[in-house]
Amino acid sequence: MTTKKKSWKEKMNPKAQWQLEKTTKKFADIPEGATMLIATPTIVEDYVKNIPEGSSSNIQQMRKDLAATYHADFACPVTSGIFLRIVAEKAYEEYIEGKSPEEIVPFWRIIDKKSPTAKKLTFGMEWVSAQRKSEGLPE
C-alpha cells in the first residue's frame, strides 16, 4: 500500500496550536531553563505576509519577533526553519498552479541565497533571486 505524499498546502496544518516549552538543557542558541516558542506554519506564514514590499528580513529576526509576540525568550530554530520552508514551498506550489507573485506569500523577502532554508527548497534559488531583484533586494 502506498501512501500519497502530502502537498505543501496540507503540511500547513491550520489546526496546529503554538506551544511554549521550558528548555531542560542547552539547545542550539537557547540556554537551559529558557521559554521557547514552538510556532506553527500559519504563524510563520502570517509573519512573512507582513514583510513590506521592498523590505527583507531573516529567520533570526523572525525568531526574535515571534518570541517577543508570544512572550517567550526564544523561538525554536528547528521548527522555525521547517515551517518557513513549508510556507515557501506552499507559496511556490500556488505560483506553479497559476497564481501571480502578488497573490502568494512573499517568502523571497525572508529567504536569500545565504539562508539555510534556501538550500532545501525543491525549486532552487533562481526564481527567488529574480523576485528579490524585482523588489530591489540583495540576492
Place of cell 528547528: 78
Per-residue pLDDT at 2: 63
CA–CA distance, 7 with 113 (Å, rounded to integer): 24
Low pLDDT (below 70) residues in the chain: 1-3
75 — phi, psi (to 5°)?
A: -110, 145
**Could you tell me which residues come within 8 angstroms of residue 26 by beta carbon, excluding any fewer than 6 positions away?**
32
Q: Helices marked H in 2-125 — which ranges?
A: 8-11, 41-49, 59-69, 77-96
For the packed helices 41-49 and 59-69, what is the interaxial angle rounded to 10 degrees?
110
pLDDT at 1: 56
Cα distances from 94 to residues 105, 122, 133, in angstroms, run 9, 14, 21
pTM for the model stands at: 0.93
For residue 30, the SS3 value is strand
Bridge-based pairing state of the strands 19-22 and 35-38: antiparallel
Residue among 116, 130, 132, 134 nearest 56 (CA): 132
Write down the mean pLDDT value for the chain: 95
Which pLDDT belongs to residue 139? Answer: 81
